[in-house]
Structures are given as C-alpha cells and as structure tokens.
Amino acid sequence: MRKSIWSTIEVPADVTLALEADTISVKGNEGENVRTFNLGRLEVSLVGKTLKIGSDTATKTEKKMMNTITAHINNMIKGVQEKFVYELKICSGHFPMTVKQEGSTITVKNFLGEKINRTCQVVEGSEIKIDKEMITVTSVSKELAGQTAANFEFATKIRGRDKRIFQDGIYIIKKAGKEI
C-alpha cells in the first residue's frame, strides 16, 4: 500500500546545509561534512532552514530509507556543531605495551610479548590523541570516528588464547558521549 510520507529536519541557525542532487553538505563551526545518498524514489527539498525528505507514493522500503537518511543527516548536523568523541583505554596486564603514532599509522609494540608490531590505520578525517593509557578519537563524522576506534580494537584482538585470562588490548570505553 502506498502512502504519502514526509520527514522534516529543522536546520539550526549556526549550521549551513546545501543540497546538490544526491549530495548533502553541512557546514558548521567545527568543520564540514559531505555525503552522497542513494535516494532512489525519495524526493529531497530544501526550503529556507527546513529539509524535507519523503514521497507521495512511498512503500515500506522508502519509509525505511527515509528514516535512515534522516538519522544520518541529523548526525551530520550534530557533528559540525560539536565533534564526536570516542575514548579508548590501553589495558596491559601481562606485558607493558607501547602505542605510537607515525603519520596515519598507529604502531602497537610488545603486545602480549610479541616480537612483531601490530599496526592500524587512522581514517582520514579523524584526529587522535594518545595520553598514557587513554586514546581520544575525534571527528566531525560519526562514521569516521567509529571506524578509527574499531581499527584500534581490531588490531589488538586476541586469537588462540583464553580471553578470560589474557585481557590485554585497546578497548572503547566511551562512544560519542555514551559510556559502555
């Protein structure tokens, strides 16, 4: 059954939103966020400071796409107002591990006493700060900050050992303002 379903997003005064075909760019005091969406049969229109997304003949699939795109645009607006911050903790119980940044590559030395260093990449567009046992990842984009934090966790994933005993690694403790 087809229905007329529309969603509106109110753009704050300190944020500039531009619409070009399928590409939406958001500018704020923290930076700029640009993203291209696959809109399908959805219509997007910008009138003043109001963005309307929807369709006059929408199905369940278009409704799901509309809600997803609305959530992504709201995250883009939040990101340019205040950056997303992920906090990670370096836990080393058995062997002292060191974490160093060399450009966009992070090197973890002496993880579980291994001779070969483990590495991970910082996604372009996110910034990291290493402070003793804490790592802070900040970015205008929630996806980039989350992917960089996930790269840290994945680089120190323990395989072939008892996870109850070997709890060393780098773990996310705060995700975009929410404690885990």
For the stretch 163-174, pLDDT in tens is 888 888 899 999
Tell me: the pLDDT tens digits for 72-116?
999 999 999 999 999 999 998 878 889 999 999 999 999 888 899
pTM of the entire structure?
A: 0.86
pLDDT in tens, 36-46: 998 888 888 88
Which domains are seen in the chain, by residue range? 3-81 (3.90.930.12), 84-179 (3.90.930.12)
Whether 92 contacts 171, CB under 8 Å? no
CB 97 within 8 A of CB 109: yes
Dist CA 12 CA 49 (whole Å): 7
> Predicted confidence band at 62 (pLDDT cuts at 50, 70, 90)?
confident
Kindly report the average pLDDT of the chain as a whole number: 90
How far apart are the C-alpha atoms of 72 and 95, rounded to whole Å? Answer: 41
Distance CA 117, CA 111 (A): 7
